[in-house]
Amino acid sequence: MKTIIAAYSQNRSGSRSSVRAALRTLLTAPWPSQRDVRSCLQLLAVLQWVLSFLVLGVVSLLVLIYLVFTSFWPISALYLAWVIFDRDTPEKGGRRLACLRRWPVWKYFRDYFPVQLVKTHDLSPSHNYIIGSHPHGILCVGAFCNFTTCSTGFLEMFPGIKPSLTTLAGNFLLPLFREYLMSGGLFPVTRQAIGYLLSKNGTGNAVAIVIGGASESLSCQPGVTTLILKNRKGFVRMALEHGAHLVPSFSFGENDLFRQVVFEEGTWMRSIQNRIQKMMGFAPCVFYGRGLLSVQSRGFLPYPKPITTVVGEPMTVPKIAEPSREVVDLYHEMYVRSLLKLFHENKTKYGMSETDELRI
* DSSP characters over 8-27: HHHHHHHHHHHHHHHHHHHH
Asked if residue 249 lies in contact with residue 116, where contact means CB atoms within 8 angstroms, the answer is no
- pLDDT, residue 43, reads 94
* Identity of the residue numbered 337: R
The proportion of the chain whose per-residue pLDDT surpasses 90, expressed as a percent, equals: 57
Asked if residue 318 lies in contact with residue 133, where contact means CB atoms within 8 angstroms, the answer is no
At residue 218's C-alpha, the angle toward residues 212 and 224, to 5°, is 80
* 163 or 226, higher pLDDT: 163
Predicted confidence band at 212 (pLDDT cuts at 50, 70, 90)? Answer: confident
Domain boundaries, the chain: 34-349
Q: Assign 246 to helix, strand or coil.
A: strand
Distance between the two ends of the chain, CA-based, in angstroms?
Answer: 91
pTM of the predicted structure, to 2 decimals: 0.85
Answer yes or no: is pLDDT of 278 > 70: no
Predicted confidence band at 270 (pLDDT cuts at 50, 70, 90)? Answer: low
Burial level of 218, CB count in 10 A (0-12/13-18/19+)?
A: buried
Strand partners, 288: 259
Burial level of 128, CB count in 10 A (0-12/13-18/19+)?
A: buried
Answer yes or no: is pLDDT of 272 > 80: no
- pLDDT tens for each residue of 95-150: 888 888 999 999 999 999 999 999 999 999 999 999 999 998 888 999 999 999 99
| Dihedral sign computed on CA atoms, order 176, 177, 180, 181 | negative
Answer yes or no: is pLDDT of 299 > 90: no
- Sequential DSSP letters for 251-282: EETGGGS-EE-PPPTTSHHHHHHHHHHHHHSS
In angstroms, what CA-CA distances link 1 with 4, 8, 10?
A: 5, 11, 14
For 233, half-sphere exposure in the C-beta direction (CA atoms, 13 angstrom radius) is: 15
